[in-house]
Homo-oligomer: A and B are copies of this chain.
Amino acid sequence: MKHLHPSAEFPVNCWMVAAASPSLHSEPLGVTICGESIVLFRDAAGRVAALEDRCVHRAAPLSLGRVETGRLRCLYHGMIFDSHGTCVEVPGQRSVPRGACVRSYPVVEKSGWIWVWPGNPGQADEALLPDAMATDHPGWITAQSSMDFQAHYSLLVDNLLDFSHLAFVHGKSFKADPKWGTIRPTISSIPRGLRVSRWIVDAPALASARELAGKEADTWQSYDFLAPGVLLMETWYCHPGAAEAAAFGAPTDGVLVRNRAYQAITPMTARSSRYFFVAVLPADEVDRETCEHVLAVSQQAFLEDKAMIEAQQQRIDGSPTWQPLALPADKGIWQFHKILAELGGGLPTHGGTLDGGGNKSPK
């Protein structure tokens, strides 16, 4: 369980969310991913380019530059770079020095997010991107935002892999029923991730959806959690009895409200992470105002997570020899860190340390 003392290493051979699509206009946008400074901009055709955010000349950030007809000019001494990172103009010189270029990154715009692959470009496979999400579909309304955490991204990952925290961290925002604290989900493997599902039977809906779902509901929550930290979640509020009618599998009938949430954690540095989240609701069931309300309650909840996780990070940093205690509720965390380790994330598996350390392995 050494992952609670996380290093600066990240699983770089993954697609990571760099920005929400609507946040990239005609100006360049600087972001940090896995410790690397990256500048995003749109070329003349509107396609996103992702370059090293450091001019080859004297290290000025290109994100302080200006887009000129789809190319990016450094605003220190005026060099211009194309979307491949090649310098195409040096003011006052007829020719451009050989090798005057900055690194470019594989980048894809899909489902309302701009995805960058910070690792080996040869491995950047678009097939690894999540399938079409409802964000592009007219049948769904979306509202989105982001929040920075001063903590290693793995602490956010762990937070999302154990939803028992809803009953304790989110008493004021989601007003989660105590059942969230005790019911264990079913966890199964999917490519590069886990599927986590549970029924919360006969309990009030989370506060974000309480007006939609009524007082008592059977709540089906199921999410795919993909490396490095992409959560694609459905929360379906159903008539009481729906869980049993579906034999505790996915609901087939009695659905009152379908609530989707997409979230992505992007490692920025060893101690900072950006958390992107989108509320996605069916256009034929709710209006935009309701969707904004769901987002607002979620934001309040994520501020609660932020306070807890940043404080947890401080305790971990102040405790170099301390080891966590493995509990059965950590099973998803344990499995997911194995996946991250296989991707070369440098995060030791729980398994190894659990066995070696004499702790009881989660069942």
Contact = CB atoms under 8 A, between A and B. Distances in A.
Interface in A38-66: 53-54, 56-61, 64
A215 interface: no
A64 B311 contact: yes
Contacts of A315: 37, 53-54, 59-61
A77 interface: yes
Contacts of A256: none
A139 interface: no
Contact of A327 (B90, B164, B328): B90
A54 B171 CA distance: 21
Contact of A325 (B61, B64, B100, B169): B100
A249 interface: no
Interface stretch (A10-18, A142-150, A179-187, A270-278): A179-187
Interface string A61-82: 1001000000001111110000
For this chain, the copies found in one complex come to 3
A59 B168 contact: no
Contacts of A92: 164, 181-184, 328-329
Nearest to A87: B325
B76 A308 contact: yes
B308 A64 contact: yes
B169 A75 contact: yes
Interface string A1-36: 000100000000000000000000000000000010
23 contacts: A4-B59, A37-B318, A53-B315, A57-B325, A58-B312, A59-B315, A59-B316, A60-B312, A61-B314, A64-B307, A73-B168, A75-B171, A76-B165, A76-B169, A77-B168, A77-B329, A78-B164, A78-B181, A91-B168, A91-B181, A91-B182, A92-B182, A99-B325
Interface of A: 4, 35, 37, 53-54, 56-61, 64, 73-78, 90-93, 97, 99-100, 158, 162, 164-165, 167-169, 171, 181-184, 307-308, 311-312, 314-316, 318-319, 322, 324-325, 327-329, 360
